[in-house]
Chains A and B, each alone.
Chain A
Amino acid sequence: MAMENNLKNQPQPDPNEGFFKALARAYAAAEGNALREEQADLESSHRLPPGTGLDKKIKRKQAAGRFRSYALRTLPLAASLIIAVWVYNGYVATKTPYSSGPSAGASSADSSSAAADSAPDTETELLRSGVAFVSVSLPAGYQVTGIDYDNRQAVLDIENIENNRIVLTLTAGGVLENEGYTAVSLNGGTAYGMVRNDYSVLTYHKDGMLYTLTSPYGCEDLIEISKNIL
């Protein structure tokens, strides 16, 4: 009796499963064929929408995916290169006169001179740290395509997935000039922006560095990049 009750309480297999499968598959096949005929008819009568807006949405996601895959593959190499550059610069710095600390018994003038000469070194380190920080902080869809160092500045060429170019200039100890700019609140900090007919600028201070971004394509990219920096 107990066993019979147990059997009754167990879920019974649906005897119609096979029929439902056959029915659903036949329906899907018929529906698919009807849709393809309808598509051919609509195409011949030019009644299908162009879908260009959809192209942009989906292909942008695909391009971001390609960039991400590339970035993930090259990230270990990029990290190794950055570390190698740091180590090399550290090695070179120990060999330049500027990096020597004041020796015992040196005059105060010599000490001041040595301190002043180490300033460019600090700024160089600051610039390189800033460049490394920007490189790893870029949002998906952006990549650094070139870096130039000049005196107290580092200039980064950045491109988005639509190949729009943005220039980011880092100036160690740079002075922020915001006359004529509009203050923009960004992640709790303040940036200053300006939009002209043929270019846009966004500039701000962070950790002793002046960041200035320019683009001929509007300020959306400048803000998107700066969200991860400021």
Chain B
Amino acid sequence: MITVLKPGLLTSVMDLGRPGYQRHGVVVGGALDRFAARVANTIVGNDENAALLEMAQLGPELRFEVPTVVAWCGGGFEPRVGGEALPRDRAVRVAAGEVLWFGPARSGLRAWLAIAGGIDVPLVLGSRSTYRRAGFGGFHGRTLQAGDQLRLGEMSEVAQQRLTMAHRASTWSVRPDTLGKPAAAGTVRAMVGPEWEWFTLAAQQAFFSAEWTVTKDADRMGVRLAGPELPLVKEREMISEGVNEGIVQVPAGGAPIVLLASRQTVGGYPRLAAVAAVDLGRLAQLAPRQTVRFETISLGTAHALYLARERDLTRVRLGLSRLGV
């Protein structure tokens, strides 16, 4: 059991999302950086899809009523537990009665905190992710509030072992953004989108060369960017159809929006580009006024990066199990 002493700003229960119901208009949602969530869960010996906490900007203050193992991955928070710094990307033991304090993000925007056993909330349409707009999933379909009590699932044998570590924190760490082949700092890799040809040559070049600034219009549905104009060759209406995370939509004569996990299932704006799946986590760390550049890659390269990162995670998991830690 965990008691929420202070909820933070936007802390909610997430897993890897609710796929399979997009044709009914149900958004996929889930952790905005799924890979980071998978790594955090792996570190505490959970199933990759176990429910954990997603926080943004200002994290929660939690009291643990039972001894357990936690791990956090993501942006530049400086959490503390029991008077000590809580290191990132490692398995960390927490004793019964200890309070974990997250505080504000010093850099980046979001983090994911996994707890051994996962957070025990009911499955809705096969997922434990919170869908705030429709008010279902996660912890009563909403962000956490002071006084909330979160039940935990049963921790795995691996987690039981980590409870008996010599030190509070594991000597090893797994940092999600070092797996696979990360992009250069401040850069996000993207492919051309289905309506690439609808845009002028100037627009195409501007997209991949400009420094884009994140506007205040940034949330779990998407990030709106400010920068050069992206004109169409000629005015045309697009017939609504399915979209995906990472798609860069450009409303008529407007600013581009990069879609994220809680995007709507369909869209009617021309799609200039599509961010590679491996770089979606970077988008989850972009706060207003930060800047980003897009680097063009091919679909083949995007897939190669994706498969390489999956292989690395598999190797990490095998490595940890062989270490017997």
The yes or no verdict on A and B being binding partners is: no
Instruction: Name B residues whose Cβ lies closer than 8 Å to a Cβ of A.
Output: none
Instruction: Name A residues whose Cβ lies closer than 8 Å to a Cβ of B.
Output: none
